Amino acid sequence: MSIQSDLSELVEANIISSETATRIEGFYASKSTSGSRLMSVFAILGALLIGLGIILILAHNWDDLSRSTKTIFAFLPLLIGQALMAFALFRKNDSTAWREGSGVFLFLAIGSSMSLVSQIYNIPGNLSSLLITWGILAIPIIYLLRSSVTSLLYIIAISVYANELAYWAWPHGKPYMYLVMMALLLPFYGRLWMQAPKGNFTVFHHWFVAISLAVSFGTMTSGSGNGELMMVAYMSLFGLFLALGHDSILKLGSTFKNGYRMVGTLGTVGMLLAFSFDEFWESIRNRTFDSYHAFSSFEGIAAVALTLLTLYLLYRQWDKTGQEVRPIQLAFAAFIIIFTLGIITPIASFLVNLLVMALGIFNVIEGNKKDHLGILNSGLVFITALITCRFFDSDLSFIIRGLLFVAVGVGFFLANYLILKKRKQHEA
């Protein structure tokens, strides 16, 4: 007999109430869900290990095989992967474990088959062409199997493609296909976000998409003579991440579940610290800008588009939802003003230092006011990082530099001690 029929009999016999029966049914349902999640994890790990094991076995004995045998082995994982995918689609479509496991196996099989066939028949090519073809062939797997892990592997593949083509390969190219490939993933990502906004796979996608865009955005630099505008575009990109991460409508969560907020914060502060050195601004002042083509280049278009989009999201956050806009969310706008001044005046580095110090002090005050150790310590970290940068960039004596670090260390201790003491007093 099923648990539902047993509970119905107990309710009819007045042994338990209907509310108790509902709670018991919910308890067993949660156990079933956690079991399926664990099964999915094992299926994914199993597919990865099997795929890697097959590759290792073939690699060890590869030189002893004939060309025809090598060809058979090259296509065999692909055929097995397609058979598993068909079985998962038509017989186990409701099983997350089968869909994820078969998707991961087939994804790896595609890459191994292409690599092996290329090696067997000496087909010319490079890593970037392999990765982009691999990504194109993986798109149907993501949508047919609704495989989130395959989607994450796909993001890694196209990110490596963008960086390989723009930075590591010679001659360098512009990976505009990266934008197309990322756009092809958006419907799946959006549906996953709407169906399970707080699910683990959704959280992983937030992190992977944010990191992928952060590391790949710079590969689009056109080399038109306005490369410095990419710094403005990057600051606006991180401002966009912060706007998304703080938007209550999107329900991204907080701390480590909120990839956009974390990447946006680290990116904003990291870039401001890099711009706090005067050498950067000296190079800008010594450059001749192609102002005529500034806003027709990729850098200029990206800077304007991202700035306007971020400003719109901040306005909606403030006007429509009544949310407070935090100072770090406005850092990108302050940087645009500083960047404009930095082209003609040497005051820019001083203003950037002032901005980072202000962000740190604000977080310390807010953390103390809200009794939040995370916010408070983040402010102290900002200040410590700024002092560390100035340690390598100033004419101060080592004694004064040492005293500054001692002062910050004492500040860390006192701030955390006072908040913990305040908490104990409230609990008492």
Residue 373: band (very low, low, confident or very high) from pLDDT cuts 50, 70, 90 = confident
Contact call for residues 239 and 285 (beta carbons, < 8 A): no
Q: Please state, in angstroms and rounded to a whole number, the distance separating the CA atoms of residues 319 and 378.
A: 28
Within 13 Å of residue 141, how many CA atoms lie on the same side as its CB?
A: 32
For residue 368, what is the DSSP state?
A: H
**CA end-to-end span of the chain, whole Å?**
52
Compare 13 and 280 and report the one with higher pLDDT. Answer: 280
Residue 395: band (very low, low, confident or very high) from pLDDT cuts 50, 70, 90 = low
- Provide DSSP, 97-139: HHHHHHHHHHHHHHHHHHHHHHHHTT----HHHHHHHHHHHHH
Q: Which two tokens stand for residue 229?
A: 């505008």
Structure confidence at residue 29 (pLDDT): 54
Which class for 190: exposed (0-12), middle (13-18), buried (19 or more C-beta within 10 A)? exposed
pLDDT digits (tens, 9 = 90+) for 149-202: 999 999 999 999 999 998 887 767 888 899 999 999 999 999 998 888 888 889
Alpha carbon of 113 to those of 76, 110, 280, 364, 371: distances in Å? 8, 5, 47, 55, 56
Amino acid at 205: H
Structure confidence at residue 94 (pLDDT): 83
User: Cα 21 from chain centroid?
Assistant: 42
Share of the chain above pLDDT 90, in %: 32
Nearest by Cα to 338 from 177, 228, 264: 228
Q: Which residues of 91-226 form beta strands (DSSP E)?
A: none
Structure confidence at residue 390 (pLDDT): 78
pLDDT digits (tens, 9 = 90+) for 94-152: 888 888 888 988 998 898 888 888 888 888 878 888 999 999 999 999 999 999 999 99
Q: How many CB atoms lie within 10 A of CB 56?
A: 9
Within 13 Å of residue 2, how many CA atoms lie on the same side as its CB?
A: 6
User: Cα 416 from chain centroid?
Assistant: 30
Structure confidence at residue 217 (pLDDT): 92
Average pLDDT of span 295-322 = 85
Structure confidence at residue 343 (pLDDT): 83
pLDDT digits (tens, 9 = 90+) for 29-84: 554 444 455 565 666 677 667 766 766 666 666 666 778 888 887 888 899 889 98
Nearest by Cα to 389 from 281, 270, 265, 238: 270
Q: Please state, in angstroms and rounded to a whole number, the distance separating the CA atoms of residues 184 and 181.
A: 5
pLDDT, mean over the chain? 82
pLDDT digits (tens, 9 = 90+) for 225-257: 667 888 999 999 999 999 998 887 777 777 788
Structure confidence at residue 16 (pLDDT): 72
Structure confidence at residue 73 (pLDDT): 79
For residue 166, what is the DSSP state?
A: I
Task: Quickly tell me which residue has 């956690």 as its tokens.
Answer: 34
Q: Which two tokens stand for residue 227?
A: 């490369």
Average pLDDT of span 303-319 = 89
**Contacts (Cβ under 8 Å, ≥6 apart) of 54:** 77, 112
Which class for 143: exposed (0-12), middle (13-18), buried (19 or more C-beta within 10 A)? middle
Q: Which two tokens stand for residue 266?
A: 């680290």
CA torsion through residues 225, 228, 232, 234, sign: positive
User: Cα 184 from chain centroid?
Assistant: 17
Average pLDDT of span 329-339 = 93
Structure confidence at residue 307 (pLDDT): 94
Does residue 287 have a pLDDT over 80? no
Average pLDDT of span 13-30 = 66
Q: Which two tokens stand for residue 11?
A: 């309710």
Which class for 209: exposed (0-12), middle (13-18), buried (19 or more C-beta within 10 A)? buried
Structure confidence at residue 153 (pLDDT): 94
Amino acid at 266: L
| Greatest pairwise CA separation for the chain in angstroms | 88
Structure confidence at residue 34 (pLDDT): 44
Structure confidence at residue 215 (pLDDT): 94
